[in-house]
Chains A and B, each alone.
Chain A
Amino acid sequence: MIAAFTAPHVAWTAIAPVVIVLGAGVVGVLVEAFVPARFRRTVQVVLAIAAPAAAVVAVAALWQGVKQTGGTSVLGGSVLVDGPTLVTWLVLAALGLLSVLLVADRIEGGEDAFAPSVAAVPGSAYEEQARAAGSMQTEVYPLVMFALGGMMMFPAAGDLLTLFVALEVLSLPLYLLAGTARRRRLLSQEASMKYFLLGAFASALFLFGIALIYGYAGSIRFSDITTATATPSDLDPLLVIGLLFLLVGLLFKIGAVPFHLWTPDVYQGAPTPITAFMAACTKVAAFGALLRVVYAVFPGLNWDINPVLWIVAIATMVVGTVAALVQNDVKRLLAYSSIAHAGFVLTGIVAFDERGIAAVLIYLLAYGAATVGAFGIVSLVRERSADGSVVGEATALSQWAGLGRSHPVLAVTFTLFLLSFAGIPLTAGFIGKFAVFSAAVAGGAWPLALIGVLASAAAAFFYVRIIVLMFFTEAQDDEATGEAPVPAPAPAVAPADEDGGSAVAVAQRTATATVAQRTTTTVVVRGEGFATVAIAVCAIVTVVVGIDPTPVLDLIGGVAKFLP
């Protein structure tokens, strides 16, 4: 019955940014198959940098049209290209580009952040062989492209199935990427496994929620659902539970309490560039989708899910902040800080106010820039073993002591990102916090804003603690006093726990061991310059948006309206 098939009209230009990025992923797979090994990395890097850059250009080209028309519905309503979509695309493509720069960076000797052969058993002879042969997993680039494409599709989805597919497209590569770290491979693989299992659990709830909503509305199309749920009379409890499950899936990706438990483990175990990518871009995508679901799809149910969002927002802010206070590892600390930030962004969502949309998007931009920059710096601060070779990242906080004196530029830049996280004026973070809290107050959620401000104040403590550590504490020498927890140099492969349990638990135990022989020193490596560029761009964005936010506020505020 070929004759009966009519090709659907596809407005390719409207979805060009996504198509470019996903296309780059597909081409990247072909590159793996057909390009000789010695050119592969170069081609992949060029491709992975060019695609998000082209996506940024494509978004810019679409901007004026969307600003005037309010947006278009593409692919029969499966994809909605409106103002918030464009903003998230722009932020995602830009942050994705910066993350790719971190991924691409290598230190001397050509080592990147990824295991030479991910499939090798950690500590095996095969792994050693692959290392000696200098092999590389250039598959990470197409994987990142696929994840980025999924992230871009996520907030643009126009029906529940597209939403789910986008969720899986963004998640599956990330599960894989989390397990590819070159150092501490058991930790990395464990992170990957955990992320996958818990992610699958969340996806199941998400899918269950979709089924319940379909059962009520009889359609997966957002516009139909909106119509079906618009009248708030006598709502079926199953609809509310369905929406709750849907939200749980989204909140899991955001890392909101109590669905946050994977975050510290995965952020710590994953290769740092991937952590940066996840922490910045996944949150942007998931918040974009959450905004659409809450503001555009279920405006009729706001009243019902409001308590859920309040509880989650408060718990997220408090738990993220409080747990971050007691961390001794930079990556875990940044992970908890990202949880706290998720809470702050949620206050902007709970505002249920028009300006909440713009506030959330601005916050995400500020947070994303600081996150990519901060993890970029983490990836440069390394341990040097006694024989002079550079090994893994020096993630223990005590190893950062005195960095302000030995590497002032790096330390000042890191301080800038920390201040932005803390929301100190003249940084982008302040603008973001100000925007979400004022939106929350305008929306009547002033208790949330109050808790948010208090949590920010408490959070400032652990950011400032790192600053103090870098600038006002001497680097500890071998005669550790025993008071401060001095970490053992984390072994390249964490020893397996005797009860077969978790490597994380072991890592935590070694991190807090008070007596340990320091055999490593902290050094800052010079990469090939990719990471430096990414960090510099993040720093510039943080400062410029902090000092003169008006252009960005106008840009985002001008289009922050969802298609009905």
Chain B
Amino acid sequence: MLITGITTDAAWSGAALAPWLVGIPLLSAAVLLLAGRRSDRWGHWLGVLAPLASLVIGVVLLFSMLSVPGGSRTATVSLGRWIDAGTFHLDAGFRIDPLSLTFVLLVTFVGTLIHVYSVAYMEHDADRRRFFAYMNLFVAAMLLLVTASSYLLLFVGWEGVGLASYLLIGFWNHNPVYAAAAKKAFVANRIGDVGLIVAMGLLFSHVGALDFATVDAAVPHLSTGAVTAIGLMLLLAACGKSAQFPLQSWLGDAMAGPTPVSALIHAATMVTAGVYLVVRSNAIFTAAPDARLVVTIVGAISLLFGAIVGCAKDDIKKALAASTMSQIGYMMLAAGLGPVGYAFAIMHLVTHGFFKAGLFLGAGSVMHGMDDQTDMRGFGGLGRTMKITYFTVMAGWLAILGMFPLSGFWSKDPIIEAAFVPQDGQTWRAWVFGLVALLGAGITSFYMSRLFFMTFEGKRRWTTKTDGTPQHPHEAPALMTVPMVILAIGSVGLGAFLAVGDRFTRWLEPVTGPRGDGQAVLPGWLLITLSLVLVIGAAAYAWTRYAVAEVPATPPVGTLVTRAARKDLYQDVVNDAALVVPGRMLTRSLVFGDRAVVDGAVSGIAKSTVKVGDLARKVQTGHVRSYAATMTLGVVVLAVVVLLLGS
């Protein structure tokens, strides 16, 4: 790798700052890891400063970019030639455009808040500094992922966030269950990574380049089959990273990590990388309608899957994880709709980043007050003892429900509306996906209301702490509540700010292209009314069941669906039967074959070689006379050879 200095083609100033977006958190992570225990006292503040510095850079870039018209906002910042192999040349570079800047701002803003929150949340952990090092590593990798100018550099960030996620899920790895959860996440992500690698291989063979600009320009000249194959492989990658069907099983287990990790990585940012990948590759997906249809289907299944699982979970974090999967399903569905949906997918991603992070931080605050308990059946009536948490979670709850005029309303309703737009002239798709999206909104309302009411309303069902003393729920310190309040404000107002006057859609236009026109099969006002009625009805039903009625402390047996949902709809069983067991059989037979055939042959050769070696040792008698005789014999043989061949 040759650093020849930073060059940029930006039409606006300040683009050269882009490498520092990644550099500062990376440097901070390195300092924290290398300095070791010496930095225990101040390490966490350094950890907070790093994403804050990146945020400042992001804001500077934002204003600089806003000073030029939409068409000239995309910029490439090159660090120099990275790979120079034959005819293949690749620069290590950053692509700063409205899409990547949106992510930069989301990651650094939410990230900074969560870092601040973690200072208090992790206060009593002996390894807090290491925690911040990993968090900084994550921020650096995530920023690299979203600012990379080529698939290959994106892949570096992609693996980086996977690594950070692994390290942080298993942060308390002295608990073997948590360590296993980390491993599961890692393996599931690997499957997705194979998709990205194959996609890059296909791009390399068809286009001969991996940077976004060249690929985007070359896509129209490719065959539909090739584009579809690339698109499907990218989708596989996205499914692994974003916990979409059928690679979603790791997300629930990933909740083993500290709650700020769940908020930042497994709700607001990393898991949305799949959506980013799809939207970033919009040129490919626009050219491959079949691949897009699969994206939509995956999104729709994940949406329902997550929502159903969410209804049955009693663990507050796992219920939120299921909800994350479901909400990302919305984004995927929108992204699969093509130009009609790209911008809405990202907008929902941004608002979701705020309210879901807020919900997770609220859950963390509840756990903080309730001795790290996560079972909602042991909560109830907490709203009176934890006022700030109560109101911030309420903001997140109403936002995710899509209640007017909170954020979720502005980002989710357009997705539902877009789902009702016929694709490729096929009306059935509009009905299927539209109804799934609408139904999903209703279920979302039910399980989120269930979560909210079980935790904050109804009777107190508090149990004792692990040490036997009674629970004493209390409000969290200001370092935790302030970030929650800020996120709550975002949950309330951000949607309207972005949606009014199509501000966000126009902002993204340089990347996603103009939003296509399409007439929904049902009028817009009817859809809004329908979804609001559904949402309020479901919430009211949840109120009667979980706030008015008594919530049993031990979960009832429940219906068949409930029991299935509690077990993640048997996803682990299916994985086990379909992949793990056959895989194990395969490896066992391979090992057997290896031992019997390969090792047999090898050790056979080895044994005979050793026999020959023994023979050679016998020659080595230690007697000079026999040595000299051997030499003489050797000379004679060689002389005969020379003379015979010479004549």
Residues of A within 8 A of B (CB): 193-194, 197-198, 201-202, 205, 235, 237, 240-241, 244-245, 248, 252, 257-259, 261-262, 264-265, 304-305, 307-308, 311-312, 319, 322-326, 458, 461, 501-505, 508
Contacts and interface: CB of A to CB of B under 8 A. Distances in A.
B296 to A, nearest CB: 48
Interface stretch (B63-71, B475-483, B614-622): B614-622
Interface in B561-589: none
A502 B621 contact: yes
B612 A244 contact: no
A326 B613 contact: yes
B634 A325 contact: no
Instruction: Say whether chain A's binding surface is mostly helix, strand, loop, or mixed.
Output: helix
Interface string B575-617: 0000000000000000000000000000000100110111011
Given A197-B624, A241-B642, A304-B646, A258 B609 contact: no
B642 A198 contact: no
Contact of A326 (B614, B623, B630, B643): B614
Contact of B616 (A193, A259, A322, A504): A322
B633 to A, nearest CB: 7
9 contacts: A202-B631, A235-B646, A248-B635, A259-B631, A261-B620, A261-B630, A264-B620, A325-B613, A508-B622
Nearest to B638: A308
B126 interface: no
Given A248-B635, A307-B645, A201 B622 contact: no
B642 A240 contact: yes
B56 interface: no
Given A240-B646, A323-B616, A307 B621 contact: no
A531 to B, nearest CB: 29
Contacts of A458: 609
Nearest to B643: A237
B613 A505 contact: no
Contacts of A235: 646
A202 B628 CA distance: 9
Nearest to B646: A304
Given A323-B616, A325-B610, A198 B645 contact: no
Given A244-B642, A258-B630, 11 more contacts: A198-B624, A235-B646, A244-B635, A257-B634, A304-B645, A305-B642, A325-B609, A325-B613, A326-B613, A501-B622, A508-B622
Contact of A244 (B606, B617, B620, B639): B639
B646 A237 contact: yes
Nearest to A263: B620
A322 B624 CA distance: 22
B627 interface: yes
Contacts of A257: 634
Contact of A197 (B614, B628, B646): B628
B595 to A, nearest CB: 18
A323 B635 contact: no
Nearest to A195: B624
Given A244-B635, A308-B641, A461 B620 contact: no
* Most interface-central of A248, A323, A504, A508 (chain B CB within 10 A): A323
Contacts of A193: 624
B72 to A, nearest CB: 44
Give the bracket for the number of chain B residues in contact with chain A.
20 to 34
A461 B638 contact: no
A240 B639 CA distance: 9
Nearest first, the 9 A-B pairs at minimum CB distance are A258-B634, A502-B622, A504-B622, A326-B613, A323-B616, A261-B627, A505-B622, A322-B613, A325-B613
A190 to B, nearest CB: 8
A270 to B, nearest CB: 15
A323 B630 CA distance: 16
Interface in B423-442: none
Given A325-B610, A502-B622, A508-B622, A261 B638 contact: no
Contacts of A245: 635
A322 B622 contact: no
A478 to B, nearest CB: 28
Nearest to A325: B613
Contacts of B620: 261, 264-265, 323
Interface of B: 606, 609-610, 612-614, 616-617, 619-624, 627-628, 630-631, 633-635, 638-639, 641-643, 645-647
Given A264-B620, A304-B646, A322 B631 contact: no
B628 A198 contact: yes
A346 to B, nearest CB: 14
Contacts of B619: 261
Contacts of B638: 244, 248, 308, 311-312
Nearest to A323: B616
A95 B642 CA distance: 36
A259 B621 contact: no
B635 A326 contact: no
A369 B621 CA distance: 31
Contacts of A324: 613
Contacts of A504: 622
A410 to B, nearest CB: 27
Given A201-B631, A264-B620, A311-B638, A323 B613 contact: yes
Contacts of B612: 322
A265 B635 contact: no
A205 B638 CA distance: 13
A312 B635 CA distance: 11
Contacts of B647: 237
A207 to B, nearest CB: 14
Given A201-B628, A205-B635, A508-B622, A322 B609 contact: yes
A210 to B, nearest CB: 15
Contacts of B610: 325-326
A507 to B, nearest CB: 9
Contacts of A307: 641-642, 645
A313 to B, nearest CB: 12
A308 B642 contact: yes
Contacts of A202: 631
A508 B642 CA distance: 37
Contacts of A322: 609, 612-613, 616
A133 B149 CA distance: 77
A205 B634 CA distance: 12
A196 B627 CA distance: 13
A325 B633 CA distance: 25
A501 B621 CA distance: 10
* Most interface-central of A245, A261, A265 (chain B CB within 10 A): A261
Given A205-B635, A502-B621, A304 B628 contact: no
Given A235-B646, A326-B613, A194 B627 contact: yes
* Most interface-central of B609, B621, B624 (chain A CB within 10 A): B624
Nearest to A503: B622
A331 B527 CA distance: 87
A198 B631 contact: yes
B612 to A, nearest CB: 5
A248 B617 CA distance: 22
B587 to A, nearest CB: 23
Contacts of A508: 622
A423 to B, nearest CB: 18
Contacts of A323: 613, 616-617, 620
B631 A261 contact: yes
A503 B627 CA distance: 15
B609 A198 contact: no
Contacts of A319: 616
Contacts of B634: 248, 257-259
A361 to B, nearest CB: 26
B354 to A, nearest CB: 49
A197 B626 CA distance: 12
B93 to A, nearest CB: 27
A238 B503 CA distance: 99
A325 B639 CA distance: 30
Contacts of A311: 638, 641
Contacts of A248: 631, 634-635, 638
